[in-house]
């Protein structure tokens, strides 16, 4: 019988490197998939429905929300975003691990509905390093950077809600730490189906 896959929830402040870590995990691992979110926003150039996002009308999104079809959902800048529960459960039941890169509010919603998920918080080595990384991007104004750093210090207050904290000081090492967490979680007795009869 196929063992159920793991739901891996990854959060952290903007600039901590969670997206880069997730991309590396997807590249390295064979049985791990990225969960595709649903959204009411319009597709950007090059984005494909069913690959980058599930692009839904506002009415359809709200109908699914009212039917409790999302593991988590939020409204961001007038658009809705959510993680369809059915898609995630289908993959998990096939034995495929699913990784979600979401904000803290979404992670806390999932924790209530799916407490057996693994919750990993990615942090930079320091707020100074985080400021350096955000500045290096060259895409944000000073005001936006200031807001991101303020937001990051608030987000760090939620670390205790997570199962693991990974400091992203050196990317390759951070990826290896996350892989080690996944390996260890797969060895937990409650996740194994052992039958010696």
The answer to whether residue 16 sits within a structural domain is: yes
Give the chain as a 3 state SS string: CCCCCCEEEEECCCCCCHHHHHHHHHHHCCCEEECCCEECCCCCCCCCECCCEEECCHHHHHHHHHCCCEEEEEEECCEEEEEEHHHHHHHHHCCCEEEEECCHHHHHHHHHHCCCCEEEEEECCCHHHHHHHHHHHCCCCHHHHHHHHHHHHHHHHHHHHCCEEEECCCHHHHHHHHHHHHHHHHCCHHHCCCCCC
pLDDT one-digit tens code per residue, 59-71: 999 999 999 999 9
The answer to whether residue 1 sits within a structural domain is: no
What value does the mean pLDDT take over residues 170-186?
A: 94
Query: What pLDDT is stored for residue 22 in this prediction?
Result: 92
- What is the residue range of 19's domain? 7-191
What value does the mean pLDDT take over residues 12-31?
A: 87
CATH of the domain at 179: 3.40.50.300
Query: What pLDDT is stored for residue 136 in this prediction?
Result: 76
The answer to whether residue 197 sits within a structural domain is: no
pLDDT one-digit tens code per residue, 164-175: 999 999 999 999
Structural domain count, the chain: 1
Q: How confident is the model at residue 88 (pLDDT cuts 50, 70, 90)?
A: very high
């Amino acid at each position: 019988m196929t063992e159920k896959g793991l739901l891996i929830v990854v959060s952290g402040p903007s600039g901590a490197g969670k997206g880069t870590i997730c991309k590396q995990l997807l590249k390295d691992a064979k049985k791990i998939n990225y969960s595709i979110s649903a959204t009411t926003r319009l597709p950007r150039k090059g984005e494909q429905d069913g690959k980058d996002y599930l692009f839904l009308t506002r009415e359809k999104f709200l109908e699914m929300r009212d039917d409790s079809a999302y593991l988590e959902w939020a409204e961001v800048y007038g658009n809705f975003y959510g993680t369809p529960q059915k898609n995630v459960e289908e993959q998990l039941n096939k034995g495929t691990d699913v990784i979600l890169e979401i904000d803290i509010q979404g992670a806390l919603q999932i924790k209530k509905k799916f407490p057996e998920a693994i919750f990993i918080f990615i942090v930079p080595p320091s707020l100074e390093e985080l400021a350096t990384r955000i500045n290096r991007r060259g895409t944000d104004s000073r005001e936006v950077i200031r807001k991101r750093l303020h937001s990051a210090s608030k987000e760090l207050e939620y670390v205790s809600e997570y199962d693991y904290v990974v400091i992203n000081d050196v990317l390759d090492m951070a990826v290896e730490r996350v892989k080690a967490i996944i390996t260890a979680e797969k060895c937990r007795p409650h996740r194994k189906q052992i039958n010696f009869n």
